[in-house]
Amino acid sequence: MSAIQIILLVIILIIIWRLYRRLASDELTRREFVEWFLLWLAVAFLVIVPETASYLAQLVGVGRGSDLVVYLAVLLAFYLLFKIFVRLEHTERDLTAIVRHLALKEKKDDK
């Protein structure tokens, strides 16, 4: 095992440990924990057995395994950005409704 593989595995273990801590403190739901855990488990597997990425890349018609990993990482990043955007829009809508309600209540109380 090369030095970069060891370094990456240590980082992945730290991430998984932090995920577990967030689950224990109720900052993550079980579903979120399982999703992230499976993602990082898959990353760890690819770090340990990098030939798997090349094999999968050949199956889907991508030249190299590292290219496939980059494509998937970009797709995941865009998906997560989309989820964040949708949640932010929802939060803004809720906040607007609350402020509107409080303003109308305050105006009614002033009369």
**Cα 51 → chain centroid:** 25
The Cα 92–Cα 73 span in angstroms is 28
Does the residue 57 lie in any domain?
no
Number of domains, the chain: 2
pTM of the predicted model, to two decimals?
0.74
Structure tokens of 27?
Answer: 């900052």
Does the residue 55 lie in any domain?
no
| pLDDT above 90: residue 106 | no
pLDDT tens digits, one per residue of 55-90: 999 999 998 998 999 999 999 999 999 999 999 999
pLDDT tens digits, one per residue of 41-57: 999 999 999 999 999 99
For 11, the domain range is 1-49
